[in-house]
Chain A
Amino acid sequence: MKTVVELWVRLKVVDLVAGTAWMTLTEKLDFGDSLRGLVRYSYWRMEAEGASAGAVVDAIDRAVRLDSAFTNQNKHLYRLRETGGAGAGDLAVEEDYPVRATGGGELRAVDLLVREKRPESEAAYAARLGERLEDVRILSMTAGEVWRIIVSAADDAAAVGLAERMAVTRSRREGLLLNPHYQRHEIVAVGPVVRKEGDR
């Protein structure tokens, strides 16, 4: 059975890269009023074939636990799950939104995936994972870094527009998170931030 699985990995200690990105976007670029939170994930999305969806997820779970190219349990938290299909990010399952400030406007989260244009690194991940799997075959692999960009925006389209302006480096004064000469991006998910009780 063909199954699409997503692996989300983030640091369980302070993420200095995300902190530096936050500082740069809010203090050196002009997003101090609109950027409300920033989280960075390593991200893999793979289509795999196995006896059942559950068997695929279980086998991949065992494999990624053992391989530091995917997870290192000394420093990472991860979530592995079957998804409805490519790009089916689900903001509602995320347990924390590190929102730095409140203020006016509705908060929306944009999950922006940054990938290299060359496919070789994704193929290498597929091969590496495949070596650890016996009854499951990796059919395709997407790998990159997801930036969860939380912004104050009136609607999803405005939120995506803001996130792309923060991400895509067009000039010295525009964009930070990817260089379009060798990287590309896709929007994995966008939607309102669901504030839980106890959130600031």
Chain B
Amino acid sequence: MRAVGRKAALFRWNDDPSLLAGAAAIVLPGGFSYQDRIRAGVVAAKDRVMDTIGELASAGIPVLGICNGAQVLVESGFIPGIHWERVDLALAPNVMADRAGYYCAWTHLRAEKSACLWTGAFAPEEIVPVPIAHAEGRFVADDAAILEEMERAGQVALRYCTVRGEIDPSFPVNPNGSVGNIAGVCNPAGNVLAMMPHPERASWLRQVPEDLDGPWGRRRRAAAGEATRMEEEGPGRRFFASIPAGKGGSR
């Protein structure tokens, strides 16, 4: 957030929730809340701080959940948020060809046409390389009507795709078996986004791997050996730049 000129402050889950008042946006980062006990994100979803985050989200404050943060938002029922606080989705264990468990790799995302605030800085169908690192990232819903409603309402903000933007459901393009290659889902209002990939790990050009396919890989190779260029913007930074500048954090 600081890299895009926003004032940012760390807020611990067990801090006084009233300190969140005045926040212009909230990011629930990746991590390992409660060591993924029982199911990734489910225990944190019951924490008191999520009452406050839910209230702020309902009031239109932008909320981004990355990886474990996304799992918390899904288990909270804030995503997809068609029925507020009802758990209408899961981020289930990865399903991958010939392997199981944790998977860490760079993926390509296609920014879909949606009302999502957090992808507002991307052109429609722009291809954005961002890494993933998770074991439970497979978007799935038991009720097909929920998926249909998400699609109809433009809540699918991000899909895994090839470097050319094709939606290929097979591994590794779809790295976890997500239905519809879904990588990120926003709420109907567009201010809350749950995404499994890590844009903060793609915020500087130096974070892009040398062997990445596509224009971002070429840009990274061209910058090799030039320290100043390596500090330039990476592909993930615009998720954070999408949020209008507000009053900043309250702390």
Q: Footprint of B on A, CB under 8 Å?
A: 16-17, 20-21, 24, 28-29, 116, 118, 120-121, 169-173, 175-182
CA A16 – CA B38 in complex, angstroms?
A: 10
Contact in complex: B46, A24 (CB < 8 Å)? yes
CA A120 – CA B45 in complex, angstroms?
A: 29
Name B72-89 residues within 8 Å CB distance of A: 75-77, 85-89
Contact in complex: A28, B47 (CB < 8 Å)? yes
Given the interface pairs A171-B87, A176-B46, the reply to whether A182 lies near B92 with Cβ below 8 Å is yes
Give the chain B neighbours of A16 by CB distance below 8 A.
35, 37
Contact in complex: A28, B46 (CB < 8 Å)? yes
Give the chain B neighbours of A120 by CB distance below 8 A.
95
Name B34-71 residues within 8 Å CB distance of A: 34-35, 37-39, 42-43, 45-48, 50, 54
Partner of B38, one of A21, A29, A116: A21
Contact in complex: B142, A181 (CB < 8 Å)? yes
Contact in complex: A181, B43 (CB < 8 Å)? no
Contact in complex: A179, B39 (CB < 8 Å)? yes
Q: How many residues of B contact A (CB 8 A)?
A: 30
- Chain A: which residue is nearest B89 at the CB level? A181
**Nearest Cβ on chain B to A114's Cβ, whole angstroms:** 10
**Per-residue CB proximity of B111-150 to A under 8 Å, as 1/0?**
0000000000000000000000000001011100000000
Can you report 29 A-B residue pairs in the complex whose CB atoms are below 8 A from each other? Answer: A16-B35, A16-B37, A17-B37, A20-B34, A20-B37, A21-B38, A28-B48, A29-B46, A116-B93, A121-B100, A169-B87, A170-B87, A171-B86, A172-B45, A172-B46, A172-B54, A172-B75, A172-B87, A176-B46, A177-B38, A179-B42, A179-B92, A180-B142, A181-B89, A181-B90, A181-B92, A182-B92, A182-B138, A182-B142
CA A176 – CA B141 in complex, angstroms?
A: 17
CA A121 – CA B46 in complex, angstroms?
A: 29
Contact in complex: A171, B85 (CB < 8 Å)? yes
Contact in complex: B38, A181 (CB < 8 Å)? no
CA A107 – CA B95 in complex, angstroms?
A: 40
Contact in complex: A118, B95 (CB < 8 Å)? yes
**Nearest Cβ on chain B to A182's Cβ, whole angstroms:** 4
Contact in complex: A20, B43 (CB < 8 Å)? yes
Give the chain A neighbours of B37 by CB distance below 8 A.
16-17, 20-21
Give the chain A neighbours of B48 by CB distance below 8 A.
28
Partner of B85, one of A20, A118, A173, A182: A173
Give the chain B neighbours of A176 by CB distance below 8 A.
38, 42-43, 46
CA A116 – CA B94 in complex, angstroms?
A: 12
CA A17 – CA B35 in complex, angstroms?
A: 9
CA A180 – CA B86 in complex, angstroms?
A: 12
User: Beyond the given A169-B42, A175-B87, could you list 6 further A-B residue pairs with CB under 8 A, ordered by the A residue number?
Assistant: A16-B35, A16-B37, A21-B38, A171-B87, A172-B54, A176-B42
